[in-house]
Chains A and B, each alone.
Chain A
Amino acid sequence: MNRTFAPLVALAGILFASAPYLIAQAPYESTMGLVQKIFYFHVPSWMAMYTAIAVCGVSSAIYLFRGGKTADAYAVAGAEVAVLFGLMGLVTGPLWGRKAWGVWWQWDVRLTTALLMQLIFVSCLLVRKYGGPGSEKLAAATALFGAATAPFVYKSVDIWRTVHPKTSVVPELLKGSMPGSGLPFLVSALAFVLLATVLMMLRVDLAKRQASLDELYLAYEDS
């Protein structure tokens, strides 16, 4: 296991421990009140998902063009963590939407494209599981297509008129559009991204152990 793993886990632990206190201290938003605090879970989980997608996309491209077990291990880890955090985003989103818009789900551009991107990564995992030998490359190509949609999903709220808030919300918040909420947001965002990183490191380690175990079995059978 990498030497940076333990400090990262410790840091993530501290951030997660302090986040509830900071979120409780943060001011209430003027129109939405308490419900708006779901923001501190919702946005960070999508940020964690984009991090995982970036890892998955880059390592999938490397795996496709150069090969190598390490790149493949990172691609699996990225895809699995992306699905996990995307699921969190898709659960917290409707909870917030029910109170803010009055409906659980709206077929607007951001929601639709985010759901589709999730489906692409789920299908990537399905192929890997049921595709049989050689499906790693297939999964890598699927992940590459999924990663190519990510920038569109992110920018979709700025291009089309949607019910979902624009991407400018986060920079404005950090500049002080809602005094007192910048720090709690930063802490929760960092905590989620760190959690995603730690989970991916664990998953990569697991994949490496699996690979070396397989090699040992092969060597035993040969002898």
Chain B
Amino acid sequence: MFLRTALLVLRKDAAIEAKSWEMLTTTVFFAVSAVLVFSFAFVKEGQPLEDAAAGILWIAVAFAGTLALGRTFERERYSETLRALLLAPAPRPALYVGKLLGILLVLGIAELLLTPLVALLFHAALFARPLLLAALLVTGTTGFACVGTLFAAMLVRARSRDVLLPILLYPITIPVIIAGVRGTSALLASPPDEATAMMWIGILMAFDAVFVTLALWTFEPLMTE
């Protein structure tokens, strides 16, 4: 029941997205243009700044994620479907999980494009350990998105929600970004520092466990009117 509801919410969002392609195109375009701005700033005379690639990859993911998070609930607000969603005889946390999966899907596709782009523009050996990089990206994005989905959902009814989402989201998720950046730059070292990367993946998994638990626990009381 729980998983089926979550998958139904995901399918609903995917169906809307497949019609308009709005969220995916805007998110990906924004992420790519952010990386381009960084490459103008940090590549001098053909030589990229050392260690810049890891930070730029994660900043692009965080910025694009904020944009996507704002959109996914804005859409529910415009068409006034949020109340219908909340009225459905389904466990509330399942709605949250469905929304979270949708965001993860969008960000995952954005990352598939971003990673080669950053590797290309910054001469970074991001694909030296593809599995470890994938693990870092998955755990890091989950940590970022699970807090983001919760706050974006709550902010739907607040005034000046566009400003408040980053204000709330960044202080809480900076640890995730730090762990992601450190882990990625450990992989970029030559030779890749696998032990350090594994340590940061472990820390990210601990973050994910804490954040997902807290979010599932607080989603229900937060979304009651």
Residues of A within 8 A of B (CB): 64-65, 112-113, 116, 119-120, 122-123, 126-127, 130-135, 137-138, 141-142, 144-146, 148-149
Contacts and interface: CB of A to CB of B under 8 A. Distances in A.
Given A64-B222, A65-B221, A120-B172, A138 B150 contact: no
B155 interface: yes
Interface bracket on B: 20 to 34
Contacts of A130: 159-160, 163-164
A149 B163 CA distance: 23
B218 to A, nearest CB: 5
A146 B151 CA distance: 14
Contacts of A148: 210, 214
Given A130-B160, A131-B164, A138-B155, 13 more contacts: A64-B218, A65-B221, A119-B170, A120-B171, A123-B167, A123-B171, A127-B158, A127-B168, A130-B163, A131-B159, A138-B158, A138-B168, A145-B211
Q: Which 6 A-B pairs have the closest CB atoms?
A: A132-B159, A119-B171, A131-B158, A120-B171, A64-B221, A123-B167
Contact of B172 (A64, A134, A145): A145
Interface string B151-182: 10011011110011001101110110010000
B218 A144 contact: yes
Contacts of A123: 167-168, 171
Contact of B218 (A120, A126, A134, A141): A141
Contacts, number: 70
Nearest to B171: A119
A67 to B, nearest CB: 9
Interface string B198-225: 0000000000001100100010011000
B191 to A, nearest CB: 23
A141 B221 CA distance: 10
B147 interface: yes
B160 A131 contact: yes
Nearest to A142: B168
A132 B174 contact: no
A41 B167 CA distance: 30
Contacts of B222: 64, 137-138, 141
Contact of B158 (A119, A132, A145): A132
B154 A137 contact: yes
Contacts of B157: 134
B80 to A, nearest CB: 17
21 contacts: A64-B218, A116-B171, A116-B174, A119-B170, A119-B174, A120-B171, A123-B171, A126-B164, A127-B168, A130-B159, A130-B160, A131-B158, A133-B159, A135-B158, A137-B222, A138-B168, A142-B168, A142-B172, A144-B218, A148-B210, A149-B175
